[in-house]
Structure 1
Amino acid sequence: MRDTVYFLAFDGFADWHAAQALCEIRRPGEWRLQTVGFSRQPVLSMGGLRVLPELTLAELELKRAALLIVPGGYLWERGQGDEAVDAARRVHAAGAPVAAVDSGVLVLARAGLLDACRHTGSWPGHIGAHVPGYAGAEQFDATVLAVSDGGVITASQLGGVEFAREVIRTLDLYSPSDREHWYRMFKHALPPPWCAGEVSAAAAAA
């Protein structure tokens, strides 16, 4: 049963990259969210949050994996974190999607997962500059902030809302119309229909 979303935390991970996605994953209460690390030792995020991984990458339950999320961090641009590359490859091969933001995309590139699918990142040339074996340059789409293709979700460092939308869609959270209202609310500050009464009341009281 694929009921678990794994979020990779490590020293210096960008804690804001997947924040909205993680909140929406937990909101319905249908998914189990687990923090995974290179070890079970506490890590410190880029923003200074201390996080305690619940399990290691070697302990991932592939049969339960519904999604693996890899946030950005300077670790990836230094070519470190081979265990994450292997884990991404294993999760994807087991039939579950993998997702990454900003430099986290380098993990998926090193795993060979971007060579045959449409993907994006923070800017053209970034992936090739850090992953010599990268063969997916023709599949890179610089016109979008996030995209999902072939069981792979990728996003720019500026695409947190778009990344969350792709995760929401991949996990089939909410109805298609509610997903669109969610996106308009967080991207363009357009209140959804279910907030119309609250908005009108606030305007009247102002």
Structure 2
Amino acid sequence: MKVTSAEFVISAVGPKQYPTDGLPEIALVGRSNVGKSSLINKMLNRKALARTSSRPGKTQTLNYFRINHRLYFVDFPGYGYAKVAKSVKQQWGKMIESYLTDRKELRLVVQLVDIRHAPSKDDIAMYDWCKQIGLTTVVVATKGDKIARGRWQQHLKVIREQLQLRETDSMLVFSSETGQGRDELWGTILKYINTGTETEAETEEAES
């Protein structure tokens, strides 16, 4: 997808702050340090729209990014970081549960896992949660440039088996360094939004 505009909109702490324009939303979830900010920047062709932090767990809100005035990326707080206070984790849990369960604009969950490691208990719990709610999920194995391409399938097999990946959900390898997986992920995302209107609008913008 050709990204002609991308902007940070709001750091929301509850439904009253969520956008009301009805645009489809794509939720991005994953452990702290899995590379969500880097993935967002690569997907949007921006160097620092989503800020990466040296302090894992710093993001404590749902961060909305509007793309082409057609959809939102919703960046979730990173889970699984031990130094975050228990009370803060409980607040995250309530906010995330409410969003995933009730948000009508949500079209797809993009769950990031590190390709180098087997899924953590938190990764498995998040995926199971999405399955129970009935949310379509694409699992993105990040940091694909950190291991040899010939070992990808071996690592993906471990992730697939431990998450017990549904046949209806997809998985792909991503690298924010090389751009591996960017087009494939956009292709998956576009399946779950109004692709006809999307494509026509983007063509007009590109030609103008």
Normalised by the size of structure 2, how large is the TM-score? Answer: 0.49
Work out which of the two has the higher radius of gyration on C-alpha atoms and give 1 or 2.
Answer: 1
Kindly indicate whether structure 1 or structure 2 has the higher relative contact order, using CA contacts under 8 Å at least 6 residues apart.
Answer: 2
Give the alignment's TM-score, normalised by structure 1.
0.49
